[in-house]
Amino acid sequence: MTRGILTTLAIAALLVVAPGVGAHAFVDHAAPAVGSTVREAPREIVIWFTQELEPSLSSIKLHDAKGNAIAAAADSAVDPSNRTMLRLPVPPLSPGKYRVVWRVLSIDSHVTEGDFTFDVAP
């Protein structure tokens, strides 16, 4: 093959792969922050993502250190004024470790999921 054909094929391959590179919604930041210890228990969990989310198929759950559900995914919602933001109101939390579990669908149909913990200090 000639160098021109190889270059053309390489560019074509990049054009096919490139649109999918940023096609997943990942956590940009959260409140409370991932792995943090907070002195005051949060009233809600908020996660900001790198892409807009599909509201009907994106959720957060909150569990205590024993794995008991504290707040249900049914109560979580994508913020209508910022579709990269997912919120979950939570009841008053006692001191301890909590696990946030999230699953989102970005508007371009890619599902991502993950979890993180935070501590509420005594």
Mean pLDDT in the chain?
Answer: 86
Vertex 100 angle, CA 41 and 36, to 5°: 55
Q: What is the pTM of this model?
A: 0.79
DSSP H helical ranges for the chain: 3-21
Residues 42 and 103: their CA atoms lie apart, in Å, by 20
Supply 68's token pair: 């008991």
The second-level CATH assignment, the architecture, of 24-120 is: Sandwich (2.60)
Output the pLDDT for position 9: 43
Average the pLDDT over each of 5-14, 22-31, 54-63, 95-104 and give the range with the smallest value: 5-14
> Average pLDDT of 24-32?
95
Output the pLDDT for position 10: 44
Q: Is the peptide bond before 122 cis (omega within 30 degrees of 0)?
A: no
Report which of 109, 98, 114 is spatially closest to residue 62, judged by C-alpha positions: 98
Q: What is the pLDDT of residues 32-61, one digit of tens each?
A: 999 999 999 999 999 999 999 999 999 999
